[in-house]
Structure 1
Amino acid sequence: MWLEIVLLGLIGFVAATFGSVVGLGGGIILVPGLVFLGPWLLGEAVSSQTAVATSLAVLIFTALSSTLAYSKVKRVDWRNGLIFFITSGPGSMVGAQLAQNFQDSSFQLAFGFFMLAMAVLMIVKERMKPLQIQWRRMQLFTDGTGVTHEYGVNIPLMLLIGFMVGLVSGLFGIGGGSLFVPLMVLLFRYPAHIATATSMFVIFLSSILGTTVHAWNGSVDWMLVLILAPSAWIGGKFGAAIANRMSGKGLLLLLRLTLLVLSLRMIISGFMAD
C-alpha cells in the first residue's frame, strides 16, 4: 500500500515539476499516468472522466504553488491574467461538463492526438518568431530583475483565447498552459518567462471552476487528490525554482520525448479499445 502511495506521489511530483517549468500545469502527464498506471497502482482501472477530474483538482495545488513562487520574483502579470480568466473560467466549466460524454476509447484517441499536437508545437515553437503585429495598445511590465518588457494587448482576442484554452482545460484536465504560453509569446510578444508565470496564475483560477463542475458530477477521486496534492505542491515550487534559475532545456527535451511516447501510447490504446 505504501509503495503505491509513494509511486503516485512521484507521478504527481514529476507532472507538477514539468508543468511548472513550461507553464503546462502538469495534467498532460498526470492524466495518461492515471489512465495507464491506475490498474497497477490502484488495482482497478481509472476512467477517463475520473482521470481528467482528479488531474484538474490537483492542478489547483500545482498552479497555486507555482504562482506564489513566480510572484516572489515579480513575473506574474496579474492584470492581464485576470482578463484571460474572464472567459477561461467559464470555458473550463463548459469543458468539464462536456468531458462527461467521453467514452474511454474515444477520450484516449482525442487526448493522444492532442498530446501529439502539443509535442510538435513544443518542438517547432523555438524556431517560430513572434508575429510582428502592430497592436494599438502596448503594455510595459517590469519583472523582478528590473528589466522592463513591452508587449501587445488586445482584449477581444485575449477573451477569445481565454475561452478556447479554458474549454480544452476542462475537457482534458490539463490546465491549458500548453496553449496559453505559445499564443501569448507568438501573438502578443510576451517574454517566455512572463507568459509561463501568468499562465500558471490563470490555470489556478480556471482549475477551481472546472473542478467545481467535475465535483458536482461526482467524477473527482478525492482520495487520489489527497495523495497527489502534497507532491504536486512541492513539484510546482521545484519547477518554478528551476525555471527561475535556468533555461530548463534538458527538461524540455525530456518532456517532448515523454509527450511523444505517451501520445502514441494513448492513440494505440484508443484504436485497440475500438
Structure 2
Amino acid sequence: MELSFYLVSLLILLGILSGMVSTIAGIGGGVFFVSFMTLLFLFPINIAVDTSTFVILFSSIAGFITYLRQKRTSIKLSIFFSIFSILGSILSTILFSIIRIDNSILKILFAVTLLIAGFNMIYKIIKAKNETEIQEVNHIDFSLNNREDKVSFKKAIPLFILAGFTANLLGIGGGIINTPSLHMVLNFPIHNSTAISTSIIFFTAIYNTIVKSLIGRIDYLIGFLIAIGSILGSIMGAKISKKMPKKYLQSFVLAVLIGLAIRMFF
C-alpha cells in the first residue's frame, strides 16, 4: 500500500479515535482496528487480525499505565486474571495451527462475538433499571478467601479463557468478554471493570504479539502508524472515562458493540 500524507494522517487519526473509544469501553481496540482495516482499507481479515494484535499491545500499555496512576486497576489482580486469558490464547494458537480457518468464517465469528457481548450489556442495563440506584464507588476489592468471590471467580475462569482464545483468533484484545465478565460475574464497578480489562488485554497482547510476529502476517508499517494514534487516544480515553457516569459508559459500550457487529455483517 502506497502511503501518502493523507493516508498517514488518516491512519493516525483513526488510531486516536479507536484508542480513545476502546479505552473508555475497556475492549482493547481490536474491534475498531480490524473493522477499519477490512472495511475501509480492504485488508484480508487474517492480516487485519494479526496487525490489530500488534497495535493493541501499544494502545493497551498506554491505558494500563494511565489506569494505574488513577488507582483503578491492580497489577496483582491483572496478572492473576491474565494467566487464564493467556491460556486461552495458547489453546487458540495450538488449535488453529492444526486447523486452518477461512477468512469468511473469521469475519462471521468476529461479528457474532460482538453481538453476544452487546446483548450481555443490554441485560445488565435492563437489570440496573429495575434496581435501586446506588452511588458506585471506585474499588478493586477481591479475595479468594472470600466465599462469594471464590464462587464468582470459578464462573469467570472459562470466560477469561474464552477472552484469550478469541483475542488470539480475532485480534480483538478480548475486552468485549473481559469487561462484561468483570462487571457482571465478579461484580466490579463498571469503571474498574474497564480498567482491569485493559490491564488483562495488555498482558495477553504481549504473548499474542510474539506469536503473530513469528507465525502470522503483521503489516508493521500500517500497525505502527495506527499505534501512534492509539497511544494518544488511549491516554485521552482513560481520562475521559474517569468522569463519565456509569449509565452513559454502559450505554456507550453497548452502542459500540452492536453498531460494529451490524456493519461487519453487511
Q: Which runs of 5+ in 2 are unaligned?
A: 129-136, 143-147
Tell me the residue number matched to 2:261: 263
Q: Identity of aligned pairs, percent?
A: 26
- Residues of 2 paired with 1:246 and 1:266: CA distance? 28
| Aligned with 1:28 (options 20, 28, 31) | 31
| Aligned with 2:196 (options 173, 195, 198) | 198
1:38-96 alpha-carbon deviations (Å, 9 max, x no partner): 14xxxxxx111111111111111111101111111111122221111112113224335
**Cα 1:76–1:35, aligned 2, differ >3 Å: closer, same or farther?**
same
CA contact (8 A) 2:156 2:185 kept: no
| Amino acid across the alignment from 1:126 | I
Query: Are 1:3 and 2:6 counterparts?
Result: yes
Q: CA deviation at 1:128?
A: 3.1
| Residue correspondence of structure 1 range 43-54 to structure 2 within 5 A | 46-54=43-51
**Cα 1:241–1:161, aligned 2, differ >3 Å: closer, same or farther?**
same
Q: CA deviation at 1:243?
A: 0.8
1:203-227 alpha-carbon deviations (Å, 9 max, x no partner): 0010110111111113111111111
Query: Are 1:115 and 2:114 counterparts?
Result: yes
Q: CA deviation at 1:124?
A: 2.9
- Residues of 2 paired with 1:84 and 1:190: CA distance? 13
Q: CA deviation at 1:246?
A: 2.1
CA contact (8 A) 1:18 1:251 kept: no
**How many matched pairs?**
246
| Aligned with 2:67 (options 44, 60, 70) | 70
| Aligned with 1:153 (options 138, 149, 155) | 149
User: 148-157 or 165-174, which moves further after superposition?
Assistant: 148-157
Q: CA deviation at 1:27?
A: 0.8
Q: Which runs of 5+ in 1 are unaligned?
A: 40-45, 130-144, 269-274
| Aligned with 1:84 (options 71, 81, 90) | 81
CA contact (8 A) 1:48 1:102 kept: no
Q: CA deviation at 1:36?
A: 0.9
Tell me the residue number matched to 2:101: 102
Tell me the residue number matched to 2:21: 18
1:115-167 alpha-carbon deviations (Å, 9 max, x no partner): 222233333322235xxxxxxxxxxxxxxx9x656455335445433212100
| Residue correspondence of structure 1 range 119-138 to structure 2 within 5 A | 119-128=118-127
Tell me the residue number matched to 1:141: none
TM-score (norm 2): 0.83
- Residues of 1 paired with 2:168 and 2:140: CA distance? 31
**Cα 1:118–1:156, aligned 2, differ >3 Å: closer, same or farther?**
closer
Q: CA deviation at 1:6?
A: 1.2
Give the structure with the larger strand fraction. 1
- Residues of 2 paired with 1:26 and 1:221: CA distance? 17
- Residues of 2 paired with 1:63 and 1:217: CA distance? 22
**Cα 1:237–1:51, aligned 2, differ >3 Å: closer, same or farther?**
same
Tell me the residue number matched to 1:172: 170
CA contact (8 A) 2:60 2:234 kept: yes
| Amino acid across the alignment from 2:149 | V
| Amino acid across the alignment from 2:209 | T
**Cα 1:260–1:159, aligned 2, differ >3 Å: closer, same or farther?**
closer
CA contact (8 A) 1:91 1:166 kept: yes
- Residues of 1 paired with 2:222 and 2:22: CA distance? 19
**Cα 1:124–1:229, aligned 2, differ >3 Å: closer, same or farther?**
same
The SS at the match of 1:38 is: coil
User: 200-209 or 242-251, which moves further after superposition?
Assistant: 242-251
- Residues of 1 paired with 2:261 and 2:164: CA distance? 21
CA contact (8 A) 2:78 2:200 kept: yes
- Residues of 1 paired with 2:253 and 2:159: CA distance? 24
